[in-house]
Each structure stands twice: as structure tokens, then as C-alpha cells.
Amino acid sequence: MTVPAHTARIAVSDLPSALAAVRERGLRLSCARRIVLEALYEADGPLTAEEIARSGRCDLASVYRNVEALETAGLVRHLHVGHGPGLYLPAAAAVELIVCERCGARADVDPRVTADVRAAVQAATGFTPHFDHFPLAGLCPRCAYDRQEG
Amino acid sequence: MTVPAHTARIAVSDLPSALAAVRERGLRLSCARRIVLEALYEADGPLTAEEIARSGRCDLASVYRNVEALETAGLVRHLHVGHGPGLYLPAAAAVELIVCERCGARADVDPRVTADVRAAVQAATGFTPHFDHFPLAGLCPRCAYDRQEG
DNA sequence: CTCTCTGCAAAGAATTTGCAAACAC
DNA sequence: GTGTTTGCAAATTCTTTGCAGAGAG
């Protein structure tokens, strides 16, 4: 229900700049902060808090505290897929996804398509949808097919 | 991640038909089942399991067991709004919503709009989005305005 | 009567919080 | 040094499960 009050997301697309940005935002570059950023920048997709904690052996509570701090600082973002745990990724990763509710498959959605959708829903409802935090849910081609067959 | 294996949703738009339908599906019309259906048909919007339980003084565990059974029977559906608890409603309520992530305000989305969106995303990704279970998230006009100002 | 369903209590998953010791600067 | 951050443990929230007794048909 709540969207964190982000600092404007700045283009920080590699680990060293992200680490530097932590200091620039007036935050200490603590051990857990480093672990979170290293994990997210080295991963090839979104990670759970659990995965981040395991990757660098720090406490799960510290991961939660720090992804929040780093999200407020505009360096990290998170999204929610289905009923599962939250997934964290670098804020710079401008991914808009659609996720299969049946099998969990994910696909990127072209920003031009989401822009069109945003405009259409805006015009019809006055609300502006976005897909950063709660990605689109649906069925992948295979699951849609399986469902029709039986 | 999982979509329940619904029985085809049949047009059951009032409480007496819903109660009859329970028996027609070969289910017993138990006390808790009656409480769930009465609560959902008498409410003017989606309810949490907690609210259903309070409404008829039955155990929360029974509510969870029964909304699931009734969903499988095609009489109830549920959706997830933001980080909050699941919300349950009669399956016949063909609502497609957009929910403000900031203040929780909800608006209906015209089915023609969702149909267009569905087609556009389908064409672009192969995935078929739907908005029954995870409604669209975004900002309501007021929150969008507040955000721009400060 | 038989099988299903109920309430209660306990377990589970994800996340948050309190607190004293450890750390960044 | 001083204020922040850490790890650990306990609390919270939502949901699920085990079980013995009550209820539906």
C-alpha cells in the first residue's frame, strides 16, 4: 500500500559507482550495505532477502533493514511476484515484467507497450498504473495452452 | 504462483442461488460455508478472511479452509492488494480494479480497456495478462498530484 | 451411521523490532 | 569518541495444518 519516498533514481549501473553513491547520499558504507549491493549487482536477476543474506553471510534482519535504506536512497528497488517473498534488484535495472501465475515464467515487457497501457488506463480511470513494484500477472503461452487443452 | 483449478464460474449472483449451488457441486452446506457466503454476498466489496470470520463468529481457520473449497467450486474468488491480506468476493463479481499503492483507493477498470490491454500485451510478449487475482497497481489522481508537488 | 467439517492450538513463512555489543568515520 | 549498524532473539502478520469431537445428510 505504501511506496517508499525515493530519492530520484540516478544512473548507477555498476557496483563501484553504487558503493560510491552510498557515501554520497550521506550513508555509511557498512558491511551489510556492501553485501547487499555486491549481491544485487553480481546477480543476473532479482534476489530474495534470504539469497542476499546467504551470499555474504550476514543476518537476514540486516538485509531487510538495508534494502530499505538503500531503496530510500534510490539505489535499490524491489518487486512482488505472486505469493512469494519480495525480490530485490538494483534501481538502475529498469525492468518491467509479466509473470506467469502458473509456472512463474517471466518475460520483459517492451517499455513502449507499458507506456501505451499506462496512457490507456490513465485516460479511462484517472489512475496511473505502473508495473515496477507489482508486475503484470498472467499466463505464459504454454500454460495458456495447457489450460485450454485440459 | 498457483492458480486454483476452478470449476467453470457459473452465474450465481445472489445468496440463495449460491447456497443452492454449494449442494449442487456435491458439497455439504455447513455452518462455516453459510457464513462465508452470507458475508460475501451481503458485503458491498471484497472482505478479508478476518472480516468474514468476525461477521459470523466462526474460526478463522474454517474461513480459510472454506474460501478455498468454495473457490475450487467456482463460487468465490480472491485477489491480492498491495502487501495486505487476501480479499475474498463472490466469483460472480466480475470486477477488474486498479488500486492506489499510496492510499489504497480503488477504481473499477472498464472491461473494454482491460481487453485492449490484454490484446496489446499478448501481441508484444505472448503472455496473456489478467487482472482478476493481482489487480493493477498505480497511483490515484490525488496521490500522483501530491507526489509531483512535494 | 458415516464421512466431513469444526474449533482450538500449534506450526510456518516473511518481515519487523528491541537491545547490547561492534563498527564506521 | 560518537552515533550508526550489527547479530541475535523475540514479536507480528497472514495463512496452513493436526487432531479429537460436533455436525450434515
Q: Per-residue pLDDT tens for B69-84?
A: 999 999 999 999 999 9
pLDDT for residue A11: 64
Among all chains, which residue has been given the C-alpha cell 505502473? Answer: A130
- Please report, rounded to whole angstroms, the spatial distance between the CA atom of protein residue B65 and the C1' atom of nucleotide D20: 18
SS3 string, A48-69, reads CHHHHHHHHCCCHHHHHHHHHH
- Kindly report which amino acid residue has its CA closest to the C1' atom of nucleotide D3: A28
pLDDT band at residue B12 under the 50/70/90 scheme: confident
Q: What is the largest CA-CA distance in chain A?
A: 57
Q: Do A127 and B107 touch (CB under 8 A)?
A: yes
Find the closest chain A residue to B86 by CA distance.
A83
Instruction: Kindly state the average pLDDT of the residues B2-13.
Output: 52
Find the closest chain A residue to B84 by CA distance.
A1
Of the candidates A50, A49, A45, A144, the residue with the CA atom closest to the CA atom of residue A101? A144
Q: Is B58 exposed, middle or buried (0-12, 13-18, 19+ CB in 10 A)?
A: buried
CA A73 to CA A26: how far, in whole Å?
9
pTM, whole model, 2 decimals?
Answer: 0.90
Query: Lowest-pLDDT range, A44-48, B11-15, B86-90?
Result: B11-15
More confident residue, B35 or B95: B35
pLDDT, tens digit (0-9, with 9 covering 90-100), for A104-127: 999 999 999 999 999 999 999 999
| Dihedral in degrees, nearest 10, Cα atoms B111, B113, B119, B120 | -160
Among all chains, which residue has been given the C-alpha cell 474454517? Answer: B62
Q: Do A121 and B126 touch (CB under 8 A)?
A: no
Residue A2 has pLDDT above 70, yes or no: no
For A146, what's the count of Cα atoms within 13 Å in the CB-facing half-sphere?
A: 10
Instruction: Kindly state the average pLDDT of the residues B28-56.
Output: 97
Cβ neighbours of B83 in A, within 8 Å: 1-2, 80
Angle in degrees, CA A117, A120, A122, rounded to 5:
105
| Dihedral in degrees, nearest 10, Cα atoms B75, B9, A80, B49 | -10
- Please report, rounded to whole angstroms, the spatial distance between the CA atom of protein residue B52 and the C1' atom of nucleotide D14: 15
| Phi and psi at residue B23, to the nearest 5° | -65, -40
pLDDT band at residue B95 under the 50/70/90 scheme: confident
Retrieve residue B85's grid coordinates: 491480506
Residues near strand C (C-beta below 7 A) are A 23, 28-31, 48-50, 60-61, 64-65, 68, 84-86; B 27-28, 30-33, 57-59, 61-62, 65-66, 69
Q: What is the DSSP letter of A47?
A: B
Instruction: Kindly state the average pLDDT of the residues A44-72.
Output: 97
Q: Do residues A11 and A21 touch, judged by C-beta distance below 8 A?
A: no
**Closest-lying nucleotide for A58 based on CA to C1':** D7
Q: What is the DSSP letter of A14?
A: S
Tell me the residue length of chain B.
Answer: 150
Displacement of CA B139 from its chain's centroid (Å): 20
Q: Name the residue facing B127 among A116, A131, A139 (closest C-beta).
A: A139
pLDDT band at residue A148 under the 50/70/90 scheme: confident
Of the candidates A93, A127, A108, the residue with the CA atom closest to the CA atom of residue B137? A127
Among all chains, which residue has been given the C-alpha cell 519516498? Answer: A5
pLDDT for residue B139: 96
Strand partners, B129: A138
pLDDT for residue B4: 42
Find the closest chain B residue to A101 by CA distance.
B1
Residue B127 has pLDDT above 80, yes or no: yes
